[in-house]
Structure 1
């Protein structure tokens, strides 16, 4: 007999470690396992509350003295591209989209390694081998897709995004691209194409992960119009970027028990 896991998951907190975005700060994450027949419902619900997926784990920053990391998404219906984004669309018109089940390939891994070696040689993924890469792509208990972008003429793989399909949008879990094509703004272009994907599917949002004011690594997300961030328990439209500068400073954050108590879980009867 098959049993479903309960929809009341257990939450845990990681040990503090150096923040990868803001020098001199320590990060800590609140996380829970994502598994069982109700994994999709749980992922949908917690994604709306600022959580992100990594394989079979959902996590959200829970730092003791900082709230700089803001979960970000684009309101597809209100989005309009800037001039530079329209140029990115034009520059990459020769790329064809191909979406498939989450299955890792050697071609993807080769592109992933080139991307890391040039863009993130000192990052947390720098030592990832092909087996760990396969786990990142394939270990998903929800509806996920690998979106590949290939050159129309040569068929060569130029960019990849691991994408989750939520009940209210698409979530860009991780993307990488050919580093030699940096001038073509492939990272920006993949976001623009995911806006198109969401529109085609009738979904209202594209989830981008975390925007960190003050971090050059995450600054590109603030360049998109109709950007919303999850702050103080609700989603709000970003109108003035300077309003978020203060988020880099030490703040009083809620105790872990209170944070967990305020998380809304999906109804187990639905």
Structure 2
């Protein structure tokens, strides 16, 4: 089994940034031949790495530090007024953990989400192979969180288990149910699940202050950011009331 001391890393050539216009990006990857178990995955996550399928990566851009790893201290979290509304809006749903696997039901939801919500992104057009390589392959302890209205699957979140928390990998939802804010609801459920397991953190990936799609992450507080190699609590923005 690999360890931090034995890992080999590779960097991609500069390529167009997926989040910020007119910028190039470079990504650092763990050698895909490495054997990454839960312990090593947890260590990598604490160092700012993320999982995409069987790949473990983090931004490694020479002149840009816009992508900031963030995590939530779940024991200290209290939902604000908007988040409580989301919980009430979805109190008719049921939530279930399921093994991370391919199914046509899961894929149909994923395809509708990508086609209607991200047709301008690099994941379009969706494919079964893409679904499997992105959401099923790779993790040692990965689960699908099913969000159902009656028997209908309307949301699906990929959740990884770590030694010190959970990692929110990706969420898709039924485009017709956009008013439910299921992305937010999935995070709220994972916060509660981390508490049930007595885990301290929910890792939320990267926050980019200049990217509107990433702004939702800092609405969950207290949020911590990995800055200069240390996890630090981000201050509440001026004019924000954390209890609203």
Matched position secondary structure for 1:126: coil
Candidates 74, 77, 85, aligned match of 1:76: 74
TM-score normalised per structure 1: 0.84
Candidates 176, 188, 201, aligned match of 1:205: 201
RMSD of aligned alpha carbons: 1.5
Candidates 43, 46, 49, aligned match of 1:48: 46
Aligned to 2:192: 196
For the pair 1:26 / 2:24, whether they are aligned, the reply is yes
Deviation at 1:241, TM superposition (A): 4.0
Q: After superposition, what is the alpha-carbon deviation per residue over 1:178-217, rounded to whole angstroms, capped at 9, x for unaligned?
A: 1111111111111000001101111111111111001011
Candidates 225, 229, 240, aligned match of 1:233: 229
Deviation at 1:168, TM superposition (A): 0.5
Deviation at 1:137, TM superposition (A): 2.6
Following the alignment from structure 1 to structure 2, what is the Cα–Cα distance between the partners of residues 98 and 240? 33
Deviation at 1:127, TM superposition (A): 2.0
Q: How many residues align?
A: 237
Aligned to 1:248: none
Question: Is the 8 Å Cα contact of residues 34 and 141 (structure 1) preserved in structure 2?
Answer: no
Question: Is the 8 Å Cα contact of residues 30 and 61 (structure 1) preserved in structure 2?
Answer: yes
Larger Rg: 1
Residues 5 and 45 (structure 1 numbering): CA distance in 2 closer, same or farther, change over 3 Å?
Answer: closer
For the pair 1:121 / 2:123, whether they are aligned, the reply is no
Superposition map of 1:48-67 within 5 A: 48-67=46-65
Residues 6 and 52 (structure 1 numbering): CA distance in 2 closer, same or farther, change over 3 Å?
Answer: closer
Question: Is the 8 Å Cα contact of residues 114 and 126 (structure 2) preserved in structure 1?
Answer: no
Aligned to 1:97: 95
| Greater than 6 Å deviation, 4+ residue runs | none
Uncovered stretches (5+) of structure 2, i.e. residues with no partner = 239-244
Q: After superposition, what is the alpha-carbon deviation per residue over 1:112-168, rounded to whole angstroms, capped at 9, x for unaligned?
A: 1111122111111112311221222321241111111111x3x10010011110001
Aligned to 2:241: none
Question: Is the 8 Å Cα contact of residues 5 and 35 (structure 1) preserved in structure 2?
Answer: no
